[in-house]
Structure 1
Amino acid sequence: MHRISLEQWRMFVAVVDNGGFAQAGDALYKTQSTISHSIKKLESTVGKQLFEVVGRKAVLTGYGESLLTAARTLVSHADALEHDAISQQSEIRTTFTLAVDILFPNERLWYALAQLATEFPELNIQLYETVLSRCGELLDDGTVDVGIASAIPKGYVTQLATTVDLCAVAHKNHPLASDKKHALSELEQYRQLVIRDAGLRGNVNSGWLGSNSRLTVSNFEQALQGIQHKAGFAWLPLWFIQQQNKADIMQLKLDNGHMRTVAMQLAVRAELASSKVVKAFVKYLSAERTPESN
């Protein structure tokens, strides 16, 4: 247990700054005797004299001078913490957790996370990569502060984070990879590589599965490997395909230029709506980036 209180250090600094016990009492709204008693107790604890009274002014001794800088720092940090604690609507956060569906463009996500880490250098960030219903489960469990997915459970106020275009792709030697345009019904005749729902309490189909013959994998990278080995076709995000830049992968030509567009929704736990960290993340996630920022 500390034998010297923060209030004693505060009085010590006040005597120095105001030139005497009476003046320090006025500044701190305390009586002169209270200040005097506190300083005497402080001197008794450290075992050395801190002030000499010259005329009507309290002057630091050499030992008192040696403690002044550290005492100022201590009092200043305590005052800053007190101000933050009182002025902030929410608690001072040290951890930020989020769940993001793999459909969300990773360049935008990592830009936002990098900016957030720069603004809050002491913040611990935990990222959960999810598929389909798993994001909602983590929100409902209270595991994450923010969730981004195509489907958010009821009870959350959401905002549109982005839209993601998905296109059907296959190996260039796959029967579907021809100059002919195909109807969606034709795709049902071929095996489709699909991403497994990562939910623990129930699995759902995404709504754009068409083939009866499926090969289920865990992520886009596995689906891409399956395509390269001619195991089937898949619906993959356009941003992911463009990143891979694989010469042996072709976008299928479909009637009317069929492409799936998925709306990605962002949800925040209600009690964190006013959090500075959450607001900053949403701002960076929505920021228009210049080529230099990539």
Structure 2
Amino acid sequence: MDRAKSTLEQWRIIQAVVDYGGYAQAAEKLNKSQSSLNHAVAKLQFQLGVQLLEVKGRKAYLTECGEVLLRRSRHITQSVTELELLANNLETGWEPSLTIGREIIYPMDDLVDVLSQFYPVSRGTRVTVLDTVLTGTAELINNETVDIAICGGPPPKGYLAEPLVDINFNLVCHSNHPLAQYDVIEEDQTLAQHLQLVIKDTSLGPNTDLGWLKAEQRWTVANFHEAIVILQKGLGFCWVPEPLVKAAIENGELKKLNLKGSTKRKATLSLVIPNRDKQGPASEMIEQLFKKHHQIESI
């Protein structure tokens, strides 16, 4: 295997000369002598047999070949920097990747707010978010498939949970749907005669479909956004998180149904760390950011 003709240091020097506008400025930023930078660039050009820079007045400019090579060099030096950072992170126990299990009723805006605070200090940690429903969330926790979980309702047996937020559900249909004529629906039989939309449990084992009211006609979909599209077409009724349908109810597109004995449902979303013994510093930071976001004091 042939040895490389150039070094990363040489490419970093020429990048600095270009970025800072000349040898003198780059020398000051890199805390090196101007002559050492001149020598490094000259040697690099000699080794490659290509002129990379030309000096006009007091400023150095890239040649056409220099532009092409410098652009490619930035990818290489950045990759090496990230590789060295990853090595340091692994040495200190910082996780290179994290998986978050998110019950789909947890507001995406809240999740993005938390992760946007984590991103600037994430050290390159890759984050995967898995949307889950009902016992699918519990399954991920029990199998320790995720590092952090936000579950709806009580956590699986043997796990501690930190309540984060309550989500209210509204039973809704299209404003032109036959059910919209009722001020109060008093009999379950009334609902049973119409199509209900339910959300599919993500568990691989026996599952429960979210919000099913035993309607004889049932369509099962993967998430609430799909259910809302169907509702907007005038089909079916469904229990939907209040934040997702508030605007549609206010503008009259969808109608909130009043079911006698159950006008509203509520789910408490909680934060669960499936394995505290294996929790790393990145996971701990995200956990604290969730608590801070929901104004929960850490102990």
| TM-score (normalised: structure 1) | 0.62
1:119 to 118, 121, 131: 121
The verdict on how the C-alpha distance between 1:155 and 1:207 changes in structure 2, with shifts beyond 3 A counting, is: farther
1:228 to 226, 229, 232: 232
Give the structure 2 partner of residue 140 of structure 1.
142
**Secondary structure in structure 2 of the residue aligned to 1:115:** helix
Q: For each residue in 1:40-77, what CA deviation from the matched residue of structure 2 results, as whole angstroms up to 9, or x when unmatched?
A: xxxxxxxxxxxxxxxxxxxxxxx9xx9xxxxxxxxxx9
Are the equivalent residues in 2 in contact too, given 1:145–1:272 (CA < 8 A)?
Answer: no
**Secondary structure in structure 1 of the residue aligned to 2:111:** helix
| Partners of 1:273 and 1:161 in 2: CA distance | 22
By how many angstroms is 1:148 displaced?
Answer: 1.2
| Partners of 1:179 and 1:202 in 2: CA distance | 35
**2:156 matches 1:167:** no
Give the structure 1 partner of residue 9 of structure 2.
none
Are the equivalent residues in 2 in contact too, given 1:111–1:285 (CA < 8 A)?
Answer: no
Are the equivalent residues in 2 in contact too, given 1:272–1:278 (CA < 8 A)?
Answer: no
Q: Which moved more, 1:195-204 or 1:137-146?
A: 137-146
2:220 to 208, 212, 216: 216
Give the structure 1 partner of residue 161 of structure 2.
158
Percent identical among aligned pairs is 25
1:105 to 104, 107, 111: 107
| TM-score (normalised: structure 2) | 0.61
Give the structure 2 partner of residue 52 of structure 1.
none
**Secondary structure in structure 1 of the residue aligned to 2:213:** coil
**2:176 matches 1:183:** no
| Partners of 1:284 and 1:227 in 2: CA distance | 35
By how many angstroms is 1:132 displaced?
Answer: 1.6
The verdict on how the C-alpha distance between 1:274 and 1:222 changes in structure 2, with shifts beyond 3 A counting, is: closer
Q: For each residue in 1:237-293, what CA deviation from the matched residue of structure 2 results, as whole angstroms up to 9, or x when unmatched?
A: 001113667642121234477100011122102235753322322232233589xxx
**Secondary structure in structure 2 of the residue aligned to 1:177:** helix
**2:257 matches 1:252:** yes
- Matched residues, number: 210
| Partners of 2:210 and 2:182 in 1: CA distance | 28
Unaligned runs of 5+ in 1: 1-62, 67-76
Are the equivalent residues in 2 in contact too, given 1:192–1:214 (CA < 8 A)?
Answer: yes
Are the equivalent residues in 1 in contact too, given 2:170–2:241 (CA < 8 A)?
Answer: yes
| Partners of 2:152 and 2:252 in 1: CA distance | 30
| Partners of 1:250 and 1:273 in 2: CA distance | 47
**Secondary structure in structure 2 of the residue aligned to 1:277:** helix
By how many angstroms is 1:212 displaced?
Answer: 3.1
Q: For each residue in 1:132-155, what CA deviation from the matched residue of structure 2 results, as whole angstroms up to 9, or x when unmatched?
A: 222222223332101112253222
Larger radius of gyration: 1
The verdict on how the C-alpha distance between 1:144 and 1:274 changes in structure 2, with shifts beyond 3 A counting, is: closer
The verdict on how the C-alpha distance between 1:228 and 1:207 changes in structure 2, with shifts beyond 3 A counting, is: closer
Unaligned runs of 5+ in 2: 1-35, 40-83
| Partners of 2:203 and 2:229 in 1: CA distance | 23
